[in-house]
Amino acid sequence: MPDSVMQNSFHLDAVPIRLERCGKTFAGGARALEPLDLTIRGGETIVFLGPSGCGKTTTLRIIAGLESPDAGGRVLFGEEDVTALPIERRNVGMVFQSYALFPNMTVTENVAYGLKVRKIARADRARRVEEMLDLMHLGEFAGRRIDQLSGGQRQRVALARALVVRPRVLLLDEPLTALDAKLRDSLRLEIDRLLRGLGITAVYVTHDQGEAMALGDRIVVMAKGRVAQVGTPREIYYQPADGFVADFIGTMNRLGGVSRGGTLSIGSATLPWTGPDGRVELLVRPEDLALAGEADGHLDGTVAAAVFLGDRTRLVVEPADGPALTVDAAGRSELGRGDRVWLRVDPARLLAVP
């Protein structure tokens, strides 16, 4: 999309958002969200990531004003306490998994809806709608009915409709989940460029860690109504706060070892190690395990499965004892089921599970 348009006439205010002790208990006593404190910086894209039912949507709806937090919770947009404001008066943009477009209106009418509500004069309205449709590459579909659009086009209309009113914050609830894989990738790139270009504060909910990594300035990993970790994609990936985060993001191997007097024994190998004595459980990413020769390997095992992925071959190795390990070999590797392999561990990359 033309960067000039975005930078000149379409840069939005970057409002910070603060959640203070925002919990949610639904009628019937189900606790969907434990009280949560979180500050979202102005202009930041924050991603809520977690398995289905962990409370992401609930959090988003509290920010939007579609749910109110339990007593004691507060939502602040900048310095303004919006806790008591209904969504109609919060000036937020929302994008839903189901698009939620008005099926009885054309593309133009959908995008113009929020401007009409705001009683923007007709000429001004038409100009802003047109500008927005151009920005989203929707100009040629202006007169179409919603059922004449593809899924990707629909979600772009939904984005245009949410953004044209210049909201204080853009809230997106699994906007790509209903799309097929190819479209998902291209629209994800488009959303990424849009969010950076507009400089708007954005909250993005997804269960897809790839999307979260690609879009988030920071990621909030959630589990069972709790925040498991808040951090940049790198922090989440390389320093997971606990076993849940480690397992949920990417692939993680678990190794059992024994620490004694400054050394760690794993299998037949002994590595330098600092930590209290006793059994420890260790985490290591597949890319931090390397295939080695019999001489310099730390662990040995048998290949149980080999999956050719093109650029690499993913091996599942079963050591003599302990759980199976995942490790990547070169794409052209000839290793296969039943082969004996040796693995090297870099002690600096081992994470002890807290």
Q: Is residue 57 part of the contact set for ligand ADP (CB under 6 A)?
A: yes
Site for ligand ADP in 12-41 (CB under 6 A): 26, 30, 32
Which one among 1, 39, 80, 117 touches other proteins, defined by CB under 8 A?
117
One character per residue 46-65, x = contact with Mg ion (rule: CB under 5 A): -----------x--------
Provide the sign of the torsion angle of the four alpha carbons 336, 338, 344, 345, taken in this order. positive
Q: String of b and e for 238-258 (b: at least 16 CB within 10 Å)?
A: eebbebbbbebbbebbbbebe
The piece of 52-60, 70-78, 243-251, 286-294 that touches ligand ADP (CB under 6 A) is 52-60
Q: Is residue 98 part of the contact set for other proteins (CB under 8 A)?
A: yes
Q: Is residue 341 part of the contact set for ligand ADP (CB under 6 A)?
A: no
Task: Record the tokens describing residue 85, joined without a space.
Answer: 């404001």
Task: Record the tokens describing residue 76, joined without a space.
Answer: 């602040």
Which one among 50, 93, 175, 257 touches other proteins, defined by CB under 8 A?
93
Which residues is 36 bridged to in the sheet?
Answer: 22
Which one among 9, 72, 102, 234 touches other proteins, defined by CB under 8 A?
102
Choose between 43 and 50: whose C-beta lies nearer to Mg ion: 50
Where do we find the tokens 């990738």?
185
- Say if residues 46 and 204 touch (Cβ distance below 8 Å): yes
Site for ligand ADP in 240-299 (CB under 6 A): none
Alpha helices by DSSP H, 105-221: 107-117, 122-135, 151-163, 181-198, 209-215
Q: Is residue 54 part of the contact set for ligand ADP (CB under 6 A)?
A: yes
DSSP secondary structure of 274-300: -S-SEEEEEEE-GGGEEEE-TTT-SEE
| Residue 275, binding choice from Mg ion, ligand ADP, other proteins, none, Cβ under 5 to 8 Å by partner class | none
Size of the site for other proteins (CB under 8 A): 28
**CA–CA separation, 245 and 180 (whole Å):** 26
Strands 201-206 and 278-284: unpaired
**CA–CA separation, 309 and 311 (whole Å):** 6
Choose between 109 and 288: whose C-beta lies nearer to other proteins: 109
| Residue 94, binding choice from Mg ion, ligand ADP, other proteins, none, Cβ under 5 to 8 Å by partner class | other proteins
Choose between 32 and 132: whose C-beta lies nearer to ligand ADP: 32
Judged by the rule CB under 8 A, the positions of this chain that interact with other proteins are 27, 64, 66, 86-89, 91-94, 96, 98, 100-104, 113-114, 117-118, 158, 161-162, 165, 167, 171
